[in-house]
Amino acid sequence: MPTYEYECQKCKKTFDISQSIKAKPLSTCPDKKCKGRVKRLISAGGGFIFKGPGFYATDNRSSSYKEKAKKDNPSSPCHTCKEGCKH
């Protein structure tokens, strides 16, 4: 559900409300003492949240996934011996 930012024209308070896209915009301030008219503001909206050191799909894999991947792919040959050694 998107979050919309509103500003009261009477008390000048701003507040955020999560509403369905299909819901009608609010018209009155939720402050019971004020009850002024509100208008919806244009805001930057939500941004992307990147976790981990990079931006690739494989950068933030779970440890269990990495262990399974190691078992599926045999280790590459040793660069010194040019064979599959166990250094």
With respect to residue 10, please indicate whether it lies within any of the assigned structural domains: yes
With respect to residue 34, please indicate whether it lies within any of the assigned structural domains: yes
With respect to residue 47, please indicate whether it lies within any of the assigned structural domains: no
pTM (predicted TM-score): 0.50
Domain that holds residue 22: 3-41
With respect to residue 73, please indicate whether it lies within any of the assigned structural domains: no
With respect to residue 82, please indicate whether it lies within any of the assigned structural domains: no
**DSSP code, position 81:** T
CA 14, 17, 23, 29 torsion-angle sign: negative
Work out how many domains the chain is built from and give that number. Answer: 1
> For residue 39, which amino acid is it?
K
Residue 29 CB-density burial (10 A; 0-12 exposed, 13-18 middle, 19+ buried): buried
What's the average pLDDT block by block, 10 residues per block, for the chain (87 residues)? 91 92 93 93 71 61 76 63 57
With respect to residue 54, please indicate whether it lies within any of the assigned structural domains: no
